[in-house]
Structure 1
Amino acid sequence: MQHHAIKSLLILTIFASFLSTANSLFWKKKEFNYSPVIIIPGNGGCRIEAKTVNPKVPTPKCRVSKDWYLIWANIENIDLFAGEYTYGCWEDYIRLQFNRTTGESHSYPGVYTRIPGWGTTETVEYVDPSWLTFLAGNTGAYFSTFVRKLLNIGYERGKSVRAAPYDWRLAPVSHSDYFRRFKELIEDTYEKNGQRKVVLAAHSMGGTYTTYFLRQQTEAWKNKYVRYMLSLNVPYGGATALLWLYASGYNWGINFISAKKVRDEERTYESPAFMMPNDLAWNENDVVIITKDKKYTIKDYEQFFLDINHKDGVKLWQRARVNTTEERIHPGVDIVCIYAHGLPTGSTLDYRRAHFPDEQPSVLHEDGDKTVTTRSMKVCEMWDNHPKYNFELKKFKGIGHNDLLYNEDFYIYLEEMLRLP
């Protein structure tokens, strides 16, 4: 009897050992062989939350909340029955005030804003997470497919795929604290992932913020922490849509939003001044705006702000504008530049049949991704053939500015580029 028990125990031990070995052989977790990624989103691609304590705003009887709540993007701010923004208070809470003494821009007194989601990806996956956006064609989605594709190959939110959201209303010159935190996030991501260098995946305006940041870092730091910058449809040469925004208001193609109404708050933002067409892509004689009696080029921005009666426009632009001399300097890391092309894209605003600046212009087109012209995105090619840093270029034809982030061919290429060498 005792002999039988010992024999049974021995069989069970051998069987358990077999199961353990089989589990390690057949169910062993696939080795993660990719670089960690930090997402730097584009204009409007980050949520903004607000709270209000005795707000000193023009609109009376505005909501007062000591708790943080979402003001961007929030489809609930749109009156679906009136067909336009239920504006007033929302405008007062999201707009900025320009200080003519310091040149800085801030919220109204009593209005506090913050950018949620630091180091995570949820707030850039869905800029507006409400169920109403799904009914409106999933308009709140942004980097959702990008993150899902990375999760499918073994990435983890908050560890190997992260995000560095920022206040997109402000120009880089106003973001010293953000860039300090961004540097710490890169270092932390490097450590969390076994000291693997980080890929900086920057879309649209986020790319210009990233190159601005990289030029402020030492060569030794960049060599240690950054594998490469992934440049996705980045408008290095600016975009005429930002002139449209300042002149007449720009509703980003959302027809039930009144462009003229959003113009007042859009004019308070610094970032459009940073992203206006510049001499990296436009010649000094290229016309960017044409009216019944005047033509504006990139040399005429001071006159442009005077003519549209934007009282603080000139000073705001002088402080926030891109320094194209610095932009010509290589960021000091390897570059993988990806951009879409092959679609008609606005390059000149035509007011010859519209009252300038209060009516909406017609648009003259050239090649691009429907939002940014090819000439602006291809500025990255000036960094090719650098003696120290690698450069790779990939173009996708017939894909829109944000549609690149939903394109299967892009993700096939991306997985290849993220693999460790």
Structure 2
Amino acid sequence: MLLRNVFALSLLTVCWSITTALSPVLIVPGILGNQLQAKLDKDYAPHEWCSTQSDWYTVWFSLEQLAPYVVDCFLNNSRMLFDDGKYSNCEGVQVRVPGFGDTDTVEHLDAEEFLIPYMHDLVELFTKHGYVKGVSLRAAPYDWRLSPDLLQQGGYYDNLQNLAETMYKDNNNTSVTIVTHSLGSPTTLYFLTQVVSQEWKDKYLKAFVPLSGVWKGTVKAVIAVVSGNPDGIPITPLEARYLERGNPANYFLMPVLDNKIWSSTDPVVVTPERNYTVFDYQALFNDMKYPMGYSQYQALPTFLTELAAPHVTTYCYYGTQVETPLKLVYKEGQFPDTQPTVLKGNGDGTVNDASLEACSVWKVAQPSHPVELRGFPGVSHFDMVTNDDVLQAVLEIVTN
């Protein structure tokens, strides 16, 4: 009996030790990477079949919202407006982010949770290795239409900080690993460099694991604001452009003014009339008859130009050797309302390699916190959250 009790106590101790060795994981998704809900109290709708009054409903992602004719209602309710240097939703529209702190709204983008999986594979793998949803595995979804400064104004970073502290306390004072994807990576970098102190990071964080980080922008964002980029969503390019031109995150994701990354002589946009480098944004927006776009661009935070180090142990992982938009070529009469011919370079299919690898400067900038860069050949931008090799590498970081 005594031996049995001793064995049971030993087994319990081992199990407790394994559990407490796990660094709690906090997920910050990318653009389009979590559900959004809307509530309507409007005097106007673009069509008679569009509702002007509603309770909260899923506006992203919902196939019903993208059905023919109804899609105009979706575009009108989802687009942001820019006026007098400020962004707002359309009049009479409220937008909120459901499920903060939970993983459900990042595991699947559709509320029915079967149509559009996103972080599901990552969450499933972690739960198989001892993680508990809502305790040691949580997520911080956000309004991915917004740039980091606007998220800060809305209180997102206060909530993110409180969530990390709660996870630390709920997991036996174990430091937290933040795993991010795509836009979620620079969004989190803003938090780490502009919001919290080094003392806070040293106490509450074990590591920062950005996957597919858009550190210096992407040419795909230029396609979005110039001609529209549906990117697999069942809407036309010009419908996509109507939405994308309103959302500040798309301007935030445009190539950063950094001549170490983007050439000041090699153009990103080529037209019969003239060519445009990333240093010609004002002329580009003027010539596409959308001068307000330059004001929207200028209103953004510029912290990615310097790309300050997070001063947290960092694992910068990204896909490589996937053809990625590098230059947009418009023929006579195509600019800006027709899709261009897209010349490709290297990257992950969405973000260019120089932007993905820009985090390498942190190796020198933060000598007291290791920085590991690792490319995964042939793995695309969105496959970075489903690829087995990537997920196993992330799992090894948080359980080591």
For 2:86, which of 92, 104, 113 is the aligned residue? 104
Q: CA deviation at 1:249?
A: 0.9
Aligned mates of 2:220, 2:213 — CA distance in 1: 14
Q: Is the 8 A contact 1:230 1:337 kept in 2?
A: yes
Amino acid at match of 2:108: Y
What SS does the aligned partner of 2:299 have? helix
Aligned mates of 2:4, 2:205 — CA distance in 1: 42
For 1:151, which of 127, 130, 146 is the aligned residue? 127
For 1:391, which of 366, 371, 375 is the aligned residue? 371
Aligned mates of 2:82, 2:192 — CA distance in 1: 28
1:191-218 deviation line (CA, Å, top 9, x unaligned) = 1111111111110111001111111221
Q: CA deviation at 1:99?
A: 1.9
Q: CA deviation at 1:188?
A: 1.1
For 2:71, which of 59, 82, 87 is the aligned residue? 87
Aligned mates of 1:195, 1:26 — CA distance in 2: 22
Q: Say if 1:40 and 1:55 are closer, same or farther in 2 by CA, change over 3 A.
A: farther
Aligned mates of 1:85, 1:369 — CA distance in 2: 34
Q: Aligned residue for 2:249?
A: 271
- For normalisation by structure 1, the TM-score amounts to 0.87
What SS does the aligned partner of 2:315 have? strand
Q: Is the 8 A contact 1:55 1:108 kept in 2?
A: no
For 2:360, which of 358, 361, 381 is the aligned residue? 381
1:174 paired to 2:150: yes
Q: Is the 8 A contact 1:77 1:85 kept in 2?
A: no
1:192 paired to 2:180: no
Q: Aligned residue for 1:130?
A: 112
Q: CA deviation at 1:129?
A: 3.5
What SS does the aligned partner of 2:179 have? strand
Trace 1:12-411 onto structure 2 (pairs within 5 A).
Answer: 29=15, 31-32=18-19, 33-60=21-48, 62-79=50-67, 84=68, 86-100=70-84, 103-130=85-112, 134=114, 138=115, 140-176=116-152, 177-216=155-194, 217-254=196-233, 256-278=234-256, 279=258, 281-320=261-300, 322-327=302-307, 329-352=308-331, 355-385=334-364, 386-411=366-391
Q: Aligned residue for 1:5?
A: none
More deviation in 63-72 or 239-248?
63-72
Aligned mates of 2:264, 2:301 — CA distance in 1: 16
Q: CA deviation at 1:159?
A: 1.0
Q: Which ranges in structure 2 are unaligned for 5 or more consecutive residues?
A: none
Aligned mates of 1:394, 1:354 — CA distance in 2: 43
Amino acid at match of 1:182: L
What SS does the aligned partner of 2:343 have? strand
Q: Is the 8 A contact 1:36 1:160 kept in 2?
A: yes
Amino acid at match of 1:36: P
Q: Is the 8 A contact 2:121 2:385 kept in 1?
A: yes
Aligned mates of 2:222, 2:298 — CA distance in 1: 15
Q: Which ranges in structure 1 are unaligned for 5 or more consecutive residues?
A: 1-13
Paired-residue identity, %: 32
- For normalisation by structure 2, the TM-score amounts to 0.92
Amino acid at match of 1:277: P
Amino acid at match of 1:381: S
Aligned mates of 2:386, 2:336 — CA distance in 1: 35
For the aligned residue pairs, the C-alpha RMSD in angstroms reads 2.1
Amino acid at match of 2:93: V
Q: Is the 8 A contact 1:55 1:111 kept in 2?
A: no
Larger radius of gyration: 1
Equivalences, count = 391
More deviation in 336-345 or 404-413?
404-413
Q: Say if 1:29 and 1:197 are closer, same or farther in 2 by CA, change over 3 A.
A: closer
